């Protein structure tokens, strides 16, 4: 509970920080692209997303072995060029799964907080950003993105084939410093649809490469040398985007 309260508090603090940031970007910055066309940087966008996470590690990568939980993110996005955006997000992504090898019978549950910075590239043109035009934003936009960040993870492993509950008997942790920090490197993409005024909505998927083999609290120590790779996870999110200008 304390871990989740910490992550939710961090996300709330980022929301409060967006208010002064919005004031700094009320006037969009004018720039020129390689063809000499004037365009505007900005404005600042606030994003809110909800979805789920999918585990990929020593216990397997089958969607059917996941015990899905509700993930969420809060972020900001700022246009640098007609196609390129700079963004940052704070996310909470619970992960839980059972072993794909029934004879081992392992499972885990993990609470994960995540902070990332990323670059997003829009694949379709947006004529509304150019100074000489008064066009509308595209109804449909497709994008790819990638970045880097830090993952705060707090896993617990156990014997079982179902979701952990209050009566689950967990193993002693593999390390004594949970919650622990690891690097996380997301790559993904998505699409968005213009709803009305300053609002967009869409679907986004990302895969996160990490620098830890203990995202599930199961590594070489527990598997007796059977673990050779770091763990990772994916997210699938429904996302709302609101332009502050």
DSSP letter string over 82-139?
Answer: SSEEEEEEEEE--EEEE-S-TTT-EEEEEEEEEEEEEEEEESS--GGGBTT--PPPPS
Answer yes or no: are the C-beta atoms of 235 and 208 closer than 8 Å: yes
Q: State the pLDDT at residue 73.
A: 98
Question: How far does Cα 235 stand from its chain's mean position?
Answer: 6
Compute mean pLDDT per 10 residues along the chain, 245 residues long, and list them: 58 50 52 78 94 95 96 96 96 97 93 98 89 78 98 96 95 92 98 93 98 90 71 98 90
Distances (CA, A) of 230 to 133, 179, 184, 213: 49, 17, 11, 4
Query: Model-level pTM?
Result: 0.86
Q: State the pLDDT at residue 127.
A: 81
Start-to-end CA distance of the chain, whole Å, equals 37
Write the DSSP symbol of residue 172.
P
> Cis (ω within 30 of 0) for the bond into 190?
no
Q: State the pLDDT at residue 108.
A: 97
Distances (CA, A) of 211 to 108, 157, 214, 217: 19, 19, 9, 14
Count of other CB atoms within 10 angstroms of residue 135? 12
Cα 234 from Cα 61, distance rounded (Å): 10
Question: Could you give the maximum distance between any two Cα atoms of the chain, in Å?
Answer: 66
Q: Which residues contact 147 (CB under 8 A, 6 or more apart)?
A: 87, 116, 117, 118, 119, 185, 186
Q: State the pLDDT at residue 228.
A: 65
């Amino acid at each position: 509970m304390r871990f989740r309260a910490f992550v939710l508090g961090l996300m709330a603090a980022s929301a409060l920080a967006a208010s002064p940031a919005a004031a700094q970007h009320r006037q969009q910055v004018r720039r020129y692209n390689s063809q000499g066309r004037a365009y505007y940087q900005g404005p600042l966008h606030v994003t809110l997303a909800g979805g789920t996470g999918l585990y990929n590690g020593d216990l397997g990568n089958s969607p059917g072995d996941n015990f899905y939980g509700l993930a969420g993110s809060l972020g900001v996005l700022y246009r640098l060029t007609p196609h390129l955006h700079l963004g940052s997000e704070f996310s909470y992504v619970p992960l839980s799964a059972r072993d794909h090898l029934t004879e081992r019978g392992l499972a885990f549950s993990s609470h994960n907080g995540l902070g990332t910075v990323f670059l997003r590239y829009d694949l379709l043109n947006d004529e509304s950003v150019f100074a000489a035009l008064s066009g509308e934003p595209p109804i449909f936009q497709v994008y790819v993105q990638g970045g880097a960040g830090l993952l705060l993870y707090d896993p617990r492993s156990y014997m079982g084939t179902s979701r952990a509950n209050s009566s689950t008997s967990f193993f002693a942790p593999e390390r004594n410093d949970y919650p622990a920090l690891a690097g996380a490197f997301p790559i993904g993409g998505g699409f968005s649809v213009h709803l009305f005024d300053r609002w967009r909505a869409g679907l986004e998927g990302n895969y996160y490469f990490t620098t830890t083999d203990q995202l599930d609290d199961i590594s070489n120590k527990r598997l007796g040398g059977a673990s050779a790779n770091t763990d990772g996870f994916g997210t699938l999110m429904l996302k709302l985007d609101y332009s502050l200008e």
